[in-house]
């Protein structure tokens, strides 16, 4: 029986280079006897509804996401909203690609053949899914969504907000938009926020209830809740982390200096443990539910990001893990090198 796969992606991404990846993946799958239907993703948050609707109409054997962690997020949300459970296959093409890298899948057009082999093999894992709510002072929900890789609060989301602002402004200037794009925009935003942090309030306090255990932090720069092991493409903040154990890991970062030590000690390919290098491996919280209260004066809320995309500003957040919820096509027998 002919298999039918839906392939979702944005062919204009990466300055148009993503179309080559779409064409190559489609050709390789077709050569293996798979009927591939390509559907272009939609802007402004409309992709999950598009994915859910298309799944109901076509009843595919698998759904494929070509792009970065943001595309993974939107396609995965669409699968879960569809009322059925076709497995999700990854064709990573973004910058960080924490999802793919957490299972040994490297991003880029040169690796499309390897990704297709994994999809054709059909081995499935079940990925933990996070539900996050942003809350008002009375505990009412002001925003809610699902995430699959990470939620974070503080300095890194501030950089994303600055990047998105710069993208909008630069897009209005034709010549500049050709030169200042992709990674250059992110680097520029990071430098802008780093310099601003010397004169603007950046640090915040935090009270976290992890399941029923409570912990307080003072003067943090970032708070990260991780669903998959890889962070920012190349680091593992907690080497015990598993993507299917029903637990997420919470990592609190207190200074630029601590980020510097993590750049060395938490590098995924680093075979030397942080403590051997003289670095202090922090004790992280692992739980199935986090209730988070952020404390910073003179703000309307602390910035947050979900799977690499800017999200809500608030002082209170709730995160719950839906264990082993999303069927995912992964390499059989994958062993994480950071173990």
> In the 8-state DSSP scheme, what is residue 325?
E
Say if residue 259 is exposed, middle or buried (CB neighbours under 10 Å; 0-12, 13-18, 19+).
middle
Give me the pLDDT at residue 302, please: 87
Give me the pLDDT at residue 119, please: 96
Q: How many CB atoms lie within 10 A of CB 83?
A: 9
Strand pairing report for 304-306 and 3-9: unpaired
Location of structure tokens 């630029």: 256
298 vs 201: CA distance, rounded Å: 9
CB 257 within 8 A of CB 264: no
Distances, alpha carbon 128 to alpha carbons 41, 222, 226, 286, in Å? 24, 23, 11, 13
128 vs 287: CA distance, rounded Å: 12
Give me the pLDDT at residue 30, please: 95
- Give me the phi and psi of 100, to 5 degrees please: -65, -45
120 vs 252: CA distance, rounded Å: 39
Alpha helices in 266-323 (DSSP H): none
CA 112 to chain centre: 20
- pTM, 2 dp: 0.83
Give me the pLDDT at residue 187, please: 43
Describe the strand order of the beta sheet including 309-310 as a list of residue ranges.
285-287, 248-253, 222-226, 150-154, 304-306, 309-310
For 261, the enclosing helix (H) or strand (E) is: helix 256-265
Give me the pLDDT at residue 214, please: 94
Rg (CA), the chain: 20
CA 285 to chain centre: 19
Number of residues that this document lists for the chain: 339
160 vs 185: CA distance, rounded Å: 10
214 vs 185: CA distance, rounded Å: 38
**10-residue stretch averages of pLDDT, the chain, 339 residues long:** 88 72 93 95 93 96 94 96 94 85 89 95 95 95 96 80 54 41 42 45 85 90 90 76 91 70 55 50 81 85 88 95 96 78
């Amino acid at each position: 029986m002919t298999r039918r796969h839906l392939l979702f992606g944005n062919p204009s991404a990466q300055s148009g280079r993503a179309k080559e990846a779409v064409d190559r993946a489609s050709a390789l799958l077709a050569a293996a006897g798979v009927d591939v239907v390509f559907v272009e993703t939609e802007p402004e948050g409309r992709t999950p509804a598009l994915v859910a609707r298309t799944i109901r109409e076509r009843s595919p054997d698998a759904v494929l996401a070509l792009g970065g962690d943001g595309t993974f997020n939107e396609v995965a949300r669409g699968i879960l909203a569809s009322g059925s459970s076709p497995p999700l296959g990854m064709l990573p093409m973004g910058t960080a690609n924490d999802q793919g890298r957490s299972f040994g899948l490297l991003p880029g057009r040169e690796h499309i053949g390897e990704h297709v082999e994994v999809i054709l093999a059909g081995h499935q894992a079940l990925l933990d899914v996070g539900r996050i709510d942003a809350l008002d002072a009375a505990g009412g929900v002001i925003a809610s969504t699902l995430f699959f890789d990470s939620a974070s609060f503080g300095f890194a989301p501030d950089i994303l907000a600055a990047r998105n602002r710069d993208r909008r402004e630069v897009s209005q200037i034709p010549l500049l938009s050709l030169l200042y794009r992709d990674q250059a925009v992110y680097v520029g935003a990071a430098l802008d926020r780093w310099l601003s942090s010397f004169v603007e309030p950046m640090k915040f306090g935090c009270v976290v209830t992890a399941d029923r255990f409570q912990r307080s932090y003072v003067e943090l720069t970032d708070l990260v809740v991780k669903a998959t092991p890889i962070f920012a493409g190349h680091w593992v903040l907690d080497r015990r982390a598993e993507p299917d154990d029903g637990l997420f890991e919470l990592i609190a970062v207190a200074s630029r200096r601590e980020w510097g030590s993590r750049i060395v000690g938490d590098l995924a390919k680093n075979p030397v443990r942080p403590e051997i290098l003289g670095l202090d491996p922090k004790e992280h919280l692992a739980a199935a539910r986090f209730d988070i209260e952020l404390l910073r004066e003179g703000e309307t809320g602390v910035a947050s990001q979900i799977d690499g995309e800017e999200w809500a500003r608030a002082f209170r957040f709730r995160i719950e893990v839906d264990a082993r919820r999303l069927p995912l096509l992964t390499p059989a027998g994958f062993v994480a090198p950071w173990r």
